């Protein structure tokens, strides 16, 4: 059986491997709706962090930005902002733990 990938439009064959993507709500958050998805797009969406995406992806996004409607642009902007906020909070938490270990070490406490 073959399907067309929801994201890139490529045709792909179903195998014993998972052939769908939980969208719009991820499975880890209770999502049950699936869209057909090739392995490459599934990996890019769920397993490859945005900062590791190939520059070609960003060029395509920028080049096609004007084709998106208002709500699509707002949604993408909001999603990116939320992700940025989350990443900043994780980094702050990491820095605070690091500082706490340094303070304990300076006080003579074991780390």
Residue 11's SS3 state is strand
- Asked if residue 111 has pLDDT above 60, the reply is no
Q: Is residue 69 part of a domain?
A: no
Q: Is residue 89 part of a domain?
A: no
Nearest residue to 40 via CA among 30, 26, 54: 54
Q: Is residue 3 part of a domain?
A: yes
Q: Is residue 13 part of a domain?
A: yes
The per-residue pLDDT for range 45-102, each reduced to its tens digit, is 888 888 888 899 989 988 999 999 999 999 988 888 888 888 889 999 999 888 888 7
Number of domains in the chain: 1
Residue 93 CA, chain-centre distance (Å), reads: 20
- Tell me the pTM: 0.62
Is the distance from CB of 19 to CB of 37 less than 8 angstroms?
Answer: yes
């Amino acid at each position: 059986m073959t399907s067309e990938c929801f994201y890139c439009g490529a045709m792909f064959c179903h195998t014993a491997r998972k052939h769908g993507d939980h969208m719009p709500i991820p499975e880890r958050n209770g999502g049950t709706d699936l869209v057909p998805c090739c392995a490459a797009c599934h990996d890019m969406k769920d397993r490859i962090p945005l900062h590791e995406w190939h520059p070609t992806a960003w060029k395509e996004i920028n080049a096609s930005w004007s084709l998106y409607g208002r709500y699509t642009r707002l949604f993408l902007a909001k999603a990116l902002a939320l992700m940025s906020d989350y990443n900043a909070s994780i980094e702050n938490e990491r820095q605070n733990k690091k500082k706490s270990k340094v303070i304990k070490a300076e006080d003579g406490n074991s780390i």
